[in-house]
Every structure is written in structure tokens, then in C-alpha cells.
Amino acid sequence: MLPKEALDEFKQLYAKNFGEKLSDAEALAKATKLLDLYRTVLNVSETKQT
């Protein structure tokens, strides 16, 4: 679970970049998917370096 401050920051950035306000539930779902993608890319990148 993301801290409330991180979720609020994500919502602000999303609204600024996409012009759409998200509910807390929508923001949590989208932020979680983004973090999962980031972790996957980072993991693949680290695997290729070793």
C-alpha cells in the first residue's frame, strides 16, 4: 500500500499530465501497475548486467 502522500502526489501528477482526476481507488490501481512495471523493467535490466 502506498502512503497517502504518495497517492496524493500521483493523483496530482496524473491530473496535470492527462487532464483527468482520479479517485483514490483508481489512483492506487494505476500507481500499483506503474510500480509493478517499473520493478519488472528494473529486474530485467539488472539480470542482463550480471
Residue 47: predicted pLDDT: 77
Nearest to 11 by CA among 2, 19, 21: 21
The pTM score is 0.81
C-alpha grid cell, residue 44: 530485467
Phi-psi domain of 21 (left: phi exceeds 0; alpha: psi -120 through 50; beta: other) = beta
C-alpha grid cell, residue 19: 487532464
Residue 45: predicted pLDDT: 75
Residue 27: predicted pLDDT: 98
Nearest to 27 by CA among 50, 5, 49: 5
Owner of C-alpha cell 504518495: 6
- Per residue in 2-50, pLDDT (tens digit) is 999 999 999 999 999 999 999 999 999 999 999 999 999 998 877 777 6
